[in-house]
Amino acid sequence: MFTAYVIVTVLAAAANAFSATLDFIRFKQVLINMAKAGVSDSWITLLGILKAAGALGRLSKPGVLMMHLSFLESAG
């Protein structure tokens, strides 16, 4: 089960990172969709930063979990 958790987490982080990259390079389709949703162009970079932070947060979670588990094993 832990392997599945890590795989899904890495795939979700990759999707977030890909989406953030498209925001940073201002991919044409992203700009069109944001305009349809009523999002100002000035917000696209900020949204990219938040998506990149989400990707980093997702990748840090398994590491924190593994450190916690190793601490519990050494304490017990």
Q: What is the pLDDT of residue 12?
A: 92
For 19, residues 6+ apart whose C-beta sits below 8 A from its C-beta are: 48, 51
- The answer to which of 12-21, 35-44, 56-65 has the lowest mean pLDDT is 56-65
pLDDT grade for 76, boundaries at 50, 70 and 90:
low
Domain count within the chain: 1
Under 8 Å between Cβ of 16 and 52? yes
Q: What is the pLDDT of residues 34-56, one digit of tens each?
A: 999 999 999 999 999 999 999 99
Q: Which domain holds residue 28?
A: 2-75
Q: What is the pLDDT of residue 60?
A: 86
